[in-house]
Amino acid sequence: MSASCFDLPPDTGFGPENLPYGVFSTEPGGRRRVGVALGDWVIDLSRLDVPAVDALAAPSLNPLMARGPRTWAALRARLERLVCDPEICDAVGAHLIPLDRVTLHLPFEVADYVDFYSSQHHAENLGRMFRPDSAALTPNWKHLPIGYHGRAGTVAVSGTPVIRPSGQRQPAGGGPVFGPSQRLDLEAEVGFVVGVGSQQGTPVRVGDFAAHVFGVCLVNDWSARDLQSWEYVPLGPFLGKSFLTSVSPWVVPLDALGSARLTPPARDPQPLPYLRDDAEPWGLDLTLEVRLNGELLSCPPFREMYWTPAQQLAHLTVNGASLRTGDLFASGTVSGARRDQRGSLIELSWGGTEPIRLADGTTRTFLEDGDVVTLTASAPGPDGTRIGFGEVTGAVRSAP
């Protein structure tokens, strides 16, 4: 990788080794099209002479994602040259737009949304809190990546207001009551976006992960813990999650994460053959940051996730379920072993029993109206560079 032709901030996560894709417009109601982030600019791809240019004038990444890995690689190779080769990078210079002058939109049309539960630390923490009389992990947890379907229609781009949901909760010892959630939480997650679909009846093997998955984004799976704990037995989370799921506006190509791949934690017991990943480990060395009103609360380490996204995809399809372009599957809350690595407030405040003290002197157990939550992340790039993921942020508004 050469240096960019353009002056980039020294600490940028959007260097020429990243080139994440998004969808932007330059005026209200204006034309949405595909762009790539470079430093503090967005490159208007629809104006360049690049492969698949017809797909880049679309208002979502879906047409590009549907083309498949050969097109993705050809486009990426061309973009790397365009931003790094002094003989041709003038062609890009004319189509750089400052990021602060564009509006970023939901980058892809979400087909189905699946949320996994693949951090052992998170699952153990929640098991202890929700089911104190049972083992922290359910008997199936180390045999399969537990997951469930979420609401695709309420996946929204970073910046979408988080309207506090109302619903039923059950105060200790009484019947249920209705009202605004009193235990509104964040969940710091990593999302994987499917580009190439699959046929009904044909599972996607662990080794075929990169043939289907286009890229990676950040996900905040907002959760109303009081609604969730009352409703979730026996069919799982529903209204406690479905009011909003926020994603970052940038999708980092899988090809940008070569330097971030690592061997995931050892699995014990050995999983069933369709989940074995020794030949194709997809552990990823991402570190997330969770900020509340600008203050860093925790740094969840994705590298500690028990199940990798390649195993999640293999599991998701092993029953013959088909994939579509735009399917989003998220990792589940990323939490590490240490307290300052926990990816949700319910863990950080231990179910509300250990309030978090903030720099302004206030405390939090769960989110208050007006609170702003921002997730960021970075991963190692080639040659000591850093791959950034932008941010996913949201401000809590009071219940209507």
Q: Which residues here bind a copy of itself, judged by CB under 8 A?
A: 111-112, 114, 117, 127, 130-131, 138-140, 143-144, 146-154, 156, 163, 165-168, 170, 175-178, 200-203, 224, 227, 230-240, 242-244, 269, 272-274, 315-316, 318-324, 327, 400
| Nearest CB to a copy of itself, comparing residues 8 and 318 | 318
| Positions marked active-site | 122
Provide the 8-state DSSP code for 187: B
Residue type, 120: Q
Q: What are phi and psi of 285, to 5 degrees?
A: -90, 60
| Nearest CB to a copy of itself, comparing residues 13 and 240 | 240
The answer to whether 155 touches 249, Cβ cutoff 8 Å, is no
| Nearest CB to a copy of itself, comparing residues 75 and 244 | 244
* Residue reference for tokens 């999708």: 251
For residue 400, the minimal CB distance to a copy of itself (Å) is 6
* Chain centroid offset of residue 4 CA: 27
Distance CA 229, CA 281 (A): 34
State the DSSP string of 70-91: HHHHHHHHHHHHHHH-TTTTHH
For residue 242, the minimal CB distance to a copy of itself (Å) is 4
| Nearest CB to a copy of itself, comparing residues 69 and 271 | 271
The answer to whether 366 touches 349, Cβ cutoff 8 Å, is yes
Question: Which is nearest to 106 in space by CA: 196, 51, 25?
Answer: 25
| Nearest CB to a copy of itself, comparing residues 107 and 237 | 237
Provide the 8-state DSSP code for 213: E
Peptide bond connecting 234 to the previous residue in cis, omega within 30 degrees of 0 = yes
Element (H, E) at 44: strand 41-44
Residue type, 247: V
For residue 286, the minimal CB distance to a copy of itself (Å) is 23
For residue 188, the minimal CB distance to a copy of itself (Å) is 18
SS3 label, residue 10: coil
| Nearest CB to a copy of itself, comparing residues 92 and 346 | 346
For residue 180, the minimal CB distance to a copy of itself (Å) is 10
* Chain centroid offset of residue 74 CA: 25
The answer to whether 163 touches 400, Cβ cutoff 8 Å, is yes
For residue 219, the minimal CB distance to a copy of itself (Å) is 16
State the DSSP string of 104-132: EE-SS----EEEE---HHHHHHHHHHH-T
For residue 166, the minimal CB distance to a copy of itself (Å) is 6
| Nearest CB to a copy of itself, comparing residues 167 and 300 | 167
Distance CA 47, CA 312 (A): 37
The answer to whether 344 touches 188, Cβ cutoff 8 Å, is yes
Q: Could you tell me whether strands 328-330 and 113-116 are parallel, antiparallel, or unpaired per DSSP bridges? A: parallel
